[in-house]
Chains A and B, each alone.
Chain A
Amino acid sequence: MLTARNLSVRLGHRDILRDVDFTAQAGEVTAIVGPNGSGKTTLLRALTGDTAFAGTATIEGLNVAQAKPWELAARRGVLPQFTGVAFPFTVAEIVRLGQSTGVSGGAPDLGELALARVGLTGFGPRAYHDLSGGEQQRTQLARVLAQVWEPVGAEGPNWLILDEPVASLDIAHQLEVMTLARDFAQAGGGVVAVMHDLNLTAMFAQSVALMSGGRIVTQGAVDAVFTDENLSDAYACALRVNTAPARSTYILPHAASA
């Protein structure tokens, strides 16, 4: 389980997060959604220990503010929105960085397996800087996967924490990456993802936290959170929740004049 209790983050004189309570269960994809500036990424940065916060955050019982970096790295991988790479590494070398620092250990072909999972089979020898933005992002996801390869390790569930994992991907790769996240969760691991695309969220998440103004407005199952009223209030525009013929929920934006 991943939890946040009374989490507050202040930057200068501004409260970015105010008394946030958040829970994510292993075995589920938990999405964090909300408009720009609502505090999604800050909440994620608190959960990964990248920003100082008041309150408590835990991952599988580890206190995020107190645990050693390597203890946390053994339980969770983090995919940032953007990763700048300073030197001319190859794709395989980047993925191996995750493997060599993580807990997955020595399995020699793990890097290739991780690349295959993100649809980059055969990309190993390519120069990272020559890849497109989407390919770079998927390489980073493969690195994170190589770090926490097993959804459930000897100590219990492992976690993937993903900050807008599909932001720079085309639609086929969006589905591929979200399927990967769902498979990881279904195998017993935990996934927390900041999402912008409400339709993908509805398709793949089991639990959603809707944020607005530095607070979590509501958290729960997708159908309970994604209502016309909740979404329209949070995003400050008219949104209508619908169901497609195949019975999966979708959200259609409406222009203000409509």
Chain B
Amino acid sequence: MVALADITARRHKDRSHLARWVMLGLAAALASVSVASLFVGATGLSPLALIGDFLAGRPLDLRARVVIVDIRLPRLALGLLVGAALAVSGVVMQGLFRNPLADPGLVGVSAGAGLGAIMAIVLGGLLPPAIGAATGYALVPVAAFVGGWLSVIALYTVATRGGHTSVATMLLAGIALAALVGALSGILIYLADDAQLRTLTFWGLGSLAGATWGKVLAAAPLMLIGIFGAPFLARGLNGLALGEAAARHMGVDVQTLKRLAILLVAAAVGAAVAVSGGIGFVGIVVPHLLRLSTGPDHRYLLINSALLGAVILVLADMIARVVVAPAELPIGIVMAIIGGPFFLWILLRRRGLMEM
């Protein structure tokens, strides 16, 4: 208990101690949520019976093995990756735009990535069969990455003048971008055949259902680049919080930082959107909660956001699987129900935000 009192006393002096403890706590939460998610779903599996079987050295029965290894495990992996990728992209975008409202979903980056994904789904069949077979599952994530990348560049060019980003311009540019992308997506959907339409509809609602190891392996590299690359930008993003000039004065190579940040966001968001569709609000809810409790220092914020994003998404996916069992809700709907009111709450707390 002495240690605990010590931590509480220090908290007011230095939030970095708290941030480290939060990191440990989140890692523990992540482990338990992950294990729990393997045993929650339409098919009842008793964890105790499974552990008993395992200890007794009995092989898993076929049904349990299919459910756990081929359905729930890839789905868990996808949830962890997508949650971490979306949360980290939120932090990086907010650091890049120097604004806590810059979320990939809100400002059209996810929409741009979505257009890339839709193009790959609808037009991918037109590719020569040899190329189509070679790219396989990877075609959709890579196309989404390119779409997201072009969107961030367009957004940054429009909304940022001389290192200053106007929130109003950024959000309005995001609306324009989303409208344009929506129109283009509409044209593509018009062209799609029935099978493609069904794929597109479920994909657009945002879901982790239908996760397979193939999908996970295709999208994981891009998301992992985003998740594990972002902490290397922490020092630069901290400097950028004081403005481009101040960051440069402190030794940050601002141009390189911005290029890397845009690439990382595009990679993480693109791959996440490609495999899970429109899951919103993770990138804004998670960093906001962590900034409130442990402060904006990116050295901790990026890692903690990855952990909390993964926890929240796996939890939301469990809710999505359970509330209307044996059917399931798309996780995008669950996140919107949680995230929408949360976003309004942020606006209520900080009415002055638009003047920034």
Whether A and B are associated in the same complex: the answer reads yes
A64-72, A220-228, A246-254: which lies at the interface: A64-72
Across the interface, do A70 and B15 meet the contact criterion of CB distance under 8 Å?
A: no
Across the interface, do B249 and A97 meet the contact criterion of CB distance under 8 Å?
A: no
Across the interface, do A101 and B245 meet the contact criterion of CB distance under 8 Å?
A: no
The listed residue with most A CB atoms (<10 A of its CB), out of B15, B251, B356, is B251
From A93, A100, A143, B235 is in contact (CB under 8 Å) with A100
Inter-chain CA distance A92–B295, complex, in Å, is 12
Kindly state whether residue A73 has any CB partner on chain B within 8 Å: yes
Kindly state whether residue B224 has any CB partner on chain A within 8 Å: no
Across the interface, do B250 and A97 meet the contact criterion of CB distance under 8 Å?
A: yes
Across the interface, do A87 and B251 meet the contact criterion of CB distance under 8 Å?
A: no
Inter-chain CA distance A100–B16, complex, in Å, is 14
Chain B residues whose C-beta falls within 8 Å of the C-beta of A70 in the assembled complex: 251-253
Chain B interface size band reads 20 to 34
Residues 38 to 59 of chain A near chain B (Cβ within 8 Å): 48-50
Inter-chain CA distance A63–B14, complex, in Å, is 38
Residues 137 to 160 of chain A near chain B (Cβ within 8 Å): 143, 147
From A77, A93, A125, B249 is in contact (CB under 8 Å) with A77
Chain A residues whose C-beta falls within 8 Å of the C-beta of B13 in the assembled complex: 92, 124-125
From A78, A92, A97, B239 is in contact (CB under 8 Å) with A97
Minimal Cβ-Cβ distance residue in A for B244:
A50
Given the known interface contacts A87-B100, A88-B291, A124-B13, the answer about A102 and B250 at a Cβ–Cβ threshold of 8 Å is: yes
Minimal Cβ-Cβ distance residue in A for B236:
A101
Chain B residues whose C-beta falls within 8 Å of the C-beta of A74 in the assembled complex: 251
Across the interface, do A89 and B251 meet the contact criterion of CB distance under 8 Å?
A: no
Minimal Cβ-Cβ distance residue in B for A74:
B251
Contact with A along B211-250 (1 / 0, CB 8 A): 0000000000000000000000001001111110110111
Given the known interface contacts A70-B253, A73-B250, A86-B241, the answer about A125 and B12 at a Cβ–Cβ threshold of 8 Å is: yes
Chain A residues whose C-beta falls within 8 Å of the C-beta of B239 in the assembled complex: 97, 101
Residues 72 to 86 of chain A near chain B (Cβ within 8 Å): 72-74, 76-78, 80, 83-86
Inter-chain CA distance A50–B13, complex, in Å, is 35
Using a CB–CB cutoff of 8 Å, the interface residues on chain B facing chain A are 12-15, 95, 98-100, 235, 238-243, 245-246, 248-254, 291, 295-297, 356
Report 18 cross-chain contacts, Cβ distance below 8 Å, ordered by A residue.
A50-B248, A69-B248, A70-B253, A73-B249, A78-B249, A83-B243, A84-B243, A86-B242, A87-B100, A87-B296, A89-B296, A93-B15, A97-B239, A97-B250, A98-B250, A100-B235, A100-B238, A147-B249
Given contacts A86-B356, A125-B12, A143-B242, 20 further A-B contacts (CB under 8 A): A49-B248, A69-B252, A72-B249, A72-B251, A73-B250, A73-B251, A74-B251, A80-B246, A80-B249, A83-B243, A85-B241, A85-B242, A86-B241, A88-B295, A94-B242, A101-B235, A101-B251, A102-B250, A124-B13, A125-B13
